[in-house]
Structure 1
Amino acid sequence: MARNIGTLDQAIRLYIALMIAYACYMHLLTGTAGIVLGSWATGMAAITLTGYSPFYHWLGINTCHQV
């Protein structure tokens, strides 16, 4: 798996994932919305750490401009 997520894209994804995780932790997001968004944030964080997005791969998008 080659990286297909650039640095700026990773930073944005991680920021959003952390904000959602914080909202869940502080009980600002509860119930079904908290579970769904918490799970989504976990997935975003995993994608950020690996630098590879299957969705980007399927769409042919590459924001990582490594040579």
Structure 2
Amino acid sequence: MRNNMGGLDRSLRVIIALLITLLYFNEMIGGTLGIVLLVLAIVFVLTSLVSFCPLYVLFKLNTCKRD
């Protein structure tokens, strides 16, 4: 499993995940949409931690700096 996410991509995902979490716990979003967005936020954080996104492999994307 090779890294395919760059630093900016990882940072943006964490920021988006934090924003979704804040909106959910401040009850600005809720119900089914809120739960779906929370799951998406968890996926964003996990993929940021491992620097690997399975969807990038399918679409042949790579945001890492090339050597």
The answer to whether TM tops 0.5 is yes
Work out the number of aligned pairs and report it: 67
Could you list the per-position Cα deviations for residues 15-52 of structure 1 after superposition, in whole angstroms to 9, with x for gaps in the alignment?
10110011111111110111111111111111111100
Residue 2 of structure 1 aligns to a residue in which SS? coil
Name the counterpart of 1:32.
32
Q: Distance in 2 between matches of 1:24 and 1:50?
A: 25
Name the counterpart of 1:59.
59
TM-score by length of 1: 0.92
TM-score by length of 2: 0.92
Shift of 1:59: 0.9
The amino acid of 1:30's aligned partner reads: G
Q: Distance in 2 between matches of 1:25 and 1:55?
A: 28
Runs (5+) with no aligned partner, structure 2: none
Aligned-residue Cα RMSD (Å) equals 1.0
Shift of 1:66: 4.9
Q: Distance in 2 between matches of 1:35 and 1:20?
A: 10
The amino acid of 1:57's aligned partner reads: V
Runs of 4+ in 1 over 4 A off after TM superposition: none
Residue 33 of structure 1 aligns to a residue in which SS? helix
